[in-house]
């Protein structure tokens, strides 16, 4: 088989699995136009249309679906062979794709990457930040990093951090205009800044813990965003009170641009875990990455 045809078949399978040219291009590190050209070339060589494309949808034709059923076992076999080959290398190599929420990416993963890159220079890490829940199998990630309570049951996980305290914060300028809250019910008289989860669309419910009692409140936010950096910056600007992970605001608390309110009421999030599908056989490179991340 000529090289261009095999490359085109792999691109075809990736496009169908990704569900769009744009998403497949992002996964493969190529442009959507390059993938479109490869598909036109492949279809011309085979003399049959493999994809039905409209401006809103993409699906394999009956001929494309039949071809794909034969290709999938072959592609999986090639991947297993490459993984086996990687395990025999003296110097592990490969690409590790990781999906993590921002706080874990910045404070749990990034600090460990410098030493990891120095020891294993041939292992490439792609860290994709997404605060929503991501289907790591469908999106072709090697692993994800989330809090333990959000993991699916068929995942293997390893702890990569400690429990993460939350903290309620506001800018000193905001508190000059009104008295700081001392109990959760005082929030009714304050502007509250809320976080909305991208994947589910749900607004984060504020939790409270004290004297062995825990409960949650639905907060009617005066400002809502899906980005924790923007949420923190909104609090710094004096827009209102926010609930944020302590590591994400520790520097602002140290410099006094934010101050803690409702001290002793904020709950603690469970530790972050790195997780991957139980049915997947980890490569040597991935095992080394996982070992470098675990606590």
21-25, 53-57, 114-118: lowest mean pLDDT where?
53-57
114 phi and psi angles, rounded to 5 deg: -65, -50
**What is the pLDDT averaged over residues 177-190?**
93
Residues of the chain with CATH 3.40.190.290: 165-269
Residues of the chain with CATH 1.10.10.10: 3-86
CATH of 3-86, one of 3.10.450.50, 3.40.50.2300, 3.10.20.30, 1.10.10.10: 1.10.10.10
44-58, 189-203, 233-247: lowest mean pLDDT where?
44-58
Write the pLDDT tens digit of every residue in 221-277.
Answer: 899 999 999 999 999 999 999 999 999 999 999 999 999 999 999 999 989 999 998
Amino acid 88: pLDDT: 62
The CA distance from 209 to 215, in Å, is 7
| Average pLDDT value for the chain | 87
Q: Which helix (H) or strand (E) holds 127?
A: strand 123-129
Q: What is 94-163+271-293's CATH number?
A: 3.40.190.10
Architecture of domain 165-269: 3-Layer(aba) Sandwich (3.40)
- Which pTM value belongs to this model? 0.69
Residues of the chain with CATH 3.40.190.10: 94-163+271-293
Q: Where are the beta strands (DSSP E) in the chain?
A: 51-53, 58-60, 94-100, 123-129, 143-147, 155-159, 164-170, 192-195, 206-210, 213-217, 223-225, 241-245, 259-261, 268-269, 272-277
Look at residue 56 and tell me whether its pLDDT is greater than 80: no
Three-class secondary structure of residue 209 per DSSP? strand
Distances in Å between the Cα of 149 and the Cα atoms of 82, 85, 273 are: 34, 36, 10
Amino acid 2: pLDDT: 64
The CA distance from 227 to 204, in Å, is 12
The CA distance from 277 to 257, in Å, is 42
Look at residue 91 and tell me whether its pLDDT is greater than 90: no
């Amino acid at each position: 088989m000529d090289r261009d045809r095999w490359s085109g078949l792999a691109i075809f399978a990736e496009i169908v699995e990704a569900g769009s040219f744009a998403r497949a291009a992002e996964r493969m590190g190529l442009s959507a136009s390059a993938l479109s050209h490869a598909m036109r070339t492949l279809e011309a060589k085979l003399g049959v249309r493999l994809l039905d494309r409209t401006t809103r949808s993409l699906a394999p034709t009956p001929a494309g679906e039949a071809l794909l059923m034969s290709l999938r076992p072959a592609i999986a076999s090639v991947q297993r062979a490459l993984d086996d080959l990687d395990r025999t290398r003296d110097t592990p190599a490969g690409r590790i794709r990781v999906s993590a929420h921002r706080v874990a990416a910045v404070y749990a993963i990034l600090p460990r990457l410098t030493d990891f890159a120095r020891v294993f220079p041939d292992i490439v890490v792609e860290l994709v930040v997404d605060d929503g829940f991501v289907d790591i199998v469908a999106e072709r990630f090697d692993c994800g990093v989330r809090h333990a309570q959000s993991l699916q049951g068929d995942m293997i996980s390893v702890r990569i951090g400690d429990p993460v305290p939350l903290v309620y914060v506001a800018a000193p300028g905001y508190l000059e205009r009104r008295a700081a809250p001392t109990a959760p019910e005082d929030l009714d008289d304050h502007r509250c800044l809320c976080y909305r989860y991208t994947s589910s669309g749900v607004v984060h419910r504020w939790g409270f813990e004290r004297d062995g009692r825990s409960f949650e409140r639905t907060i009617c936010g005066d400002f809502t965003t899906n980005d924790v950096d923007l949420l923190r910056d909104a609090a710094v600007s004096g827009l209102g009170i926010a609930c944020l992970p302590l590591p994400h605001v520790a520097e602002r608390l140290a410099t006094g641009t934010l101050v803690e309110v409702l001290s002793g009421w904020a709950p603690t999030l469970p530790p972050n875990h790195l997780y991957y599908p139980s049915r997947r056989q980890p490569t040597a490179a991935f095992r080394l990455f996982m070992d470098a991340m675990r606590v």
